[in-house]
Chains A and B, each alone.
Chain A
Amino acid sequence: MDNSKIAHHISENFNKELEDIRNKVLTMGGLVEQQIEQAIIALTSGDIELAELVIRQDNDIDEFEMIIDAECTQIIALRQPAAFDLRLLLVVLRIINELERIGDLAERIAKVAIQLSTTNEGRTDEYHELKHMAGLVKDMLHASLDNFARMSVDGITQITGSDAAVDREYASIIRQLITQMMEDPRNITRMLDMLWTVRALERIGDHSRYICEHLIYMVKGEDVRHLSQAQLERIMSQ
């Protein structure tokens, strides 16, 4: 792993502390990715036990958030970092908050999976698009964590750009759900559960985009939140 951005301090301990924080964030991120994956498998295969596992594992994510949070605050207090180091630590605080929220969304999908497994009677046809959308947001999250690992923002606009594809997929699935509700009102309860799931996936896409925005702040020192994709691309090409 490229350590040039964090391993240049005179204090060997400071280097170690920053690296330790980065590794913990990546472990937490890996756990969150796994939670999304398992929640979707639980939903599409009607696996209640797996869904329950996802719900239990959310506690681990919450615990990770608290530990990393406390470590960051302590490092800021003891090392009094400035410039990139300070931005890194502040950004870690924000990234773990996004990860924790993504974890909550995965937990919500797992809860829907339990709910749906009782009413689903072996229907799997509508899951094709859902799986595709889940794949898109998982890729977004993975790519943004990969950029965090490398402390780089190269090609980051590609990740934020795929948020638009996620939104299109979201709109298209919602339209289908509404059609199915109108076709047969007995579908409505199930379709509402599905709606929560696609909504959760759409939010996961948003949070992954936010992680990218935090990374841009970390590397470039520029606050790019709330900008459009076009504005973001302009800034990044400068």
Chain B
Amino acid sequence: MNRFNTGHHVSEPFDKDLESIRQKVALMGKLVEEQLSLAVEAFTNGDTYLAEKVLTQDDEVDLLEASIDNECACVIALRQPVGHDLALLIDVIKVTNELENIAAKAEGIADITIELNKSLLVSDSDG
């Protein structure tokens, strides 16, 4: 089932707005998933290079969040949706916030990986 009810509204541009938001949320979700598994991989393998990659990619997630939130606010202001559509747009803002939090945790794991590799504790117990 497509919650975004695409193709359902009298106003075609509104459908397009919702579809654009849907695609961005899906993309953001995929990115965050990838961030998390890369971060865990970097941690378990002690891979500093990979950890640094996670840190740089976090910017992309942040940008997406800002862009989705902005689009939602614009759609609410311009289309003045009610009922299901309004609830959906507000939920999207909440979902992007959760996704961003997960990405921040992935970033935290990457930070820890880099710190751990730097510290002597690792080289001591490695051998």
Contact = CB atoms under 8 A, between A and B. Distances in A.
Interface stretch (A82-90, A148-156, A229-237): A82-90
Interface size class of B (residues with CB under 8 A): 10 to 19
Nearest to B59: A226
A74 to B, nearest CB: 10
Interface string B47-65: 0000000000001001001
Secondary structure type dominating chain B contacts: helix
A146 interface: no
A93 interface: yes
A77 B94 contact: no
A76 B76 CA distance: 8
Nearest to B72: A90
B120 interface: no
B93 interface: yes
A136 to B, nearest CB: 21
A89 to B, nearest CB: 9
Interface residues of A, number: 15
Contact of B86 (A73, A93, A223): A73
Nearest to A98: B97
A82 B74 CA distance: 9
Contact of A82 (B59, B65, B66, B77): B77
Given A76-B76, A83-B77, A97-B94, A223 B70 contact: yes
B69 A223 contact: yes
Contact of A90 (B62, B65, B93): B93
B73 A87 contact: yes
A94 B69 CA distance: 11
Given A97-B94, A225-B62, A226-B62, A90 B86 contact: no
